[in-house]
Structure 1
Amino acid sequence: MFRNAVITGACGGLGQALARLLIGQGAHVALVGMNTSALNDLAALAPERCRVYTPDVSDALAMQAMGADWLQHHGTPDLVIANAGVAGGFDTAESTDLAVMRRMLEINLLGVASTFHPFLRAMRDSGQGGALVGVASVAGWRGMPGNGAYCASKAGLIAYLQSLRAELRPTRLTVHTISPGYLRTALTAGNTFAMPGLLGPDEAASALLQGLVQGREHIVLPRRIGWLSKALSLLPARLHDRILLGQPRKPRAGQAGATPIPGLPPSSSSPP
């Protein structure tokens, strides 16, 4: 059981569910996100064990300040979950979408390293062990039409976590890659295509924490979506691409059903 946790994206569906579970288990929890109201509601469940932070996860200095404050008031965490992430459609032919890709990489990839950095040295030096968790996606296993920015950010995250895991093998720290399929959250609310294996955030959070306790380094939520993705990957690339091209695409920034991307320049929010 974890006693001291830091969660980014704690105001989202999966993040909120993880926070509630950990708070309910008696853990001290740093709640990091952009929705102050939602974070305050979570903190109210155990005010003496929670603290609210609202930095941009891609802002290394702001994340370092958050980490220093948490270490000072609650000590070294034994669990850091880098869950903050954004999603959206992408079209390389549209110049405004290049800003979308840049922002997605900043949050989904750089934001994970910026989340781990303030705590890594303290966790390693404590000798008590701990878990560093990055929430990637099965979308990082293979690129999908119209989703290049998101797929690239998650593929990069998977590689980064592999590297960090290897580096930390000699220590008592573990690194875990989470690859959700489709979760019933704000990030998928605007999707108009089929979402096999759609999983609720509470069920996903419970499975995630159970997998961590079991020591699983790669956790797919739900497992069956991983099997489906691997089966599709066995198809010839041309056939695989043809199947994916027949599916509706994720809305781009500014289109109906698109999820907001914090920090995106205003000109990138209105598609041509």
Structure 2
Amino acid sequence: MFRNAVITGACGGLGQSLARQLIAQGTHVALVGMNRTALQALADLAPERCRIYTPDVSDAHAMQTMASDWLTQHGAPDLVVANAGVAGGFDTTEAQDLAVMRRMLEINLLGVATTFQPFLGAMHSSGQSGALVGVASIAGWRGMPGNGAYCASKAGLIAYLQSLRAELRRSPITVHTINPGYLRTALTAGNTFAMPGLLEPDDAARALLQGVARGREHIVLPRHVGWLSRTLSLLPARWHDHILLGQPRKPRAGQAGATDIPGLTTPPTHHDR
């Protein structure tokens, strides 16, 4: 299906599932992530077809160095999946949380552009068809209380992918927006609120790859959660806000159940509320 793929966030739940499935199909895979041990376990499945890279995806120079090495070793990819992402609660009243928002935007939004940019020239020059895949979220469709940083990063990503798709319409390179609902990964492990349609990473990865191969530009995982979210959005904003305010909030950095945010050098301290 795909011969040459680059995956960021390859050590996370969805990223690992994507990598395993592509490796099983015989694809050459650039494994990009921060956990070398997890990446090595994947690379061991096909050492001759995999390479490990551990840059910060928001560091343009580091990403260009990574891309240069991969292009030299394996040539232009026909699939680039910008999957790296972080999540966490956010409270605008806390000055310390501004660092969380900045880091989240760097990884979730800027990190997608720094992932695509170094490969675009080579993909154009190859003359072959290729796919750029950005993993956004249905959280980017509407802001949710206590989750403003994450929602903003994913809403911005959706808009960026729309722009890039329009720019590449006359080329053989397609742009795909993936909007997952809830996946059973480390990013959702600390959630205490209801997660309708919770999907296993292997199932999500399979649907993602099949959808991209078929040329689907917008993929919601799973579909029925997208329908539910769209239906709720038809409610008056005041009603919708009231429903969301009744739900528990996602843990913020430093709180029990919070997920790690790489590069957050000064974790926030919080007041009890």
Provide TM-score, normalisation by structure 1: 0.99
Q: Distance in 2 between matches of 1:73 and 1:132?
A: 20
User: Where does residue 93 of structure 1 map in the other structure?
Assistant: 93
User: Where does residue 137 of structure 2 map in the other structure?
Assistant: 137
The one-letter code sitting in structure 2 at the alignment partner of 1:61 is H
Q: Distance in 1 between matches of 2:114 and 2:76?
A: 16
| Structural mapping, 1:27-66, within 5 Å | 27-66=27-66
Decide whether the 8 Å contact of 2:254 with 2:267 is kept in 1: no
Runs of 5+ unmatched residues, structure 1: none
Provide, for residues 144-185 of structure 1, a one-character-per-residue CA deviation record: whole Å limited to 9, x for no partner: 000000000000000000000000001000000000000000
User: Where does residue 170 of structure 1 map in the other structure?
Assistant: 170
Please state if 1:193 is matched with 2:204: no
Decide whether the 8 Å contact of 2:253 with 2:267 is kept in 1: no
**Stretches of 4+ aligned residues off by more than 6 angstroms:** none
User: Where does residue 103 of structure 1 map in the other structure?
Assistant: 103
Runs of 5+ unmatched residues, structure 2: none
Please state if 1:155 is matched with 2:124: no
User: Where does residue 78 of structure 1 map in the other structure?
Assistant: 78
Decide whether the 8 Å contact of 2:183 with 2:199 is kept in 1: yes
Count of aligned pairs between the two proteins: 271
User: Where does residue 233 of structure 1 map in the other structure?
Assistant: 233
The one-letter code sitting in structure 1 at the alignment partner of 2:86 is V
Please state if 1:214 is matched with 2:214: yes
Q: Distance in 1 between matches of 2:60 and 2:53?
A: 14
Decide whether the 8 Å contact of 2:4 with 2:77 is kept in 1: yes
Provide, for residues 88-112 of structure 1, a one-character-per-residue CA deviation record: whole Å limited to 9, x for no partner: 0000000000000000000000000
**Larger deviation: 149-158 or 207-216?**
207-216
Q: Distance in 2 between matches of 1:232 and 1:120?
A: 38
Kindly state the Cα deviation for residue 266 of structure 1 after the two structures are TM-superposed.
2.2
SS in 1 for 2:178: strand
Q: Distance in 1 between matches of 2:169 and 2:207?
A: 24
Q: Distance in 1 between matches of 2:91 and 2:105?
A: 15
Q: Distance in 1 between matches of 2:270 and 2:7?
A: 33
Provide, for residues 68-118 of structure 1, a one-character-per-residue CA deviation record: whole Å limited to 9, x for no partner: 000000110000000000000000000000000000000000000000011
User: Where does residue 247 of structure 2 map in the other structure?
Assistant: 247
Kindly state the Cα deviation for residue 267 of structure 1 after the two structures are TM-superposed.
4.1
Q: Distance in 2 between matches of 1:21 and 1:267?
A: 35
The one-letter code sitting in structure 2 at the alignment partner of 1:203 is D
Kindly state the Cα deviation for residue 265 of structure 1 after the two structures are TM-superposed.
2.3
RMSD: 0.6
Provide TM-score, normalisation by structure 2: 0.99
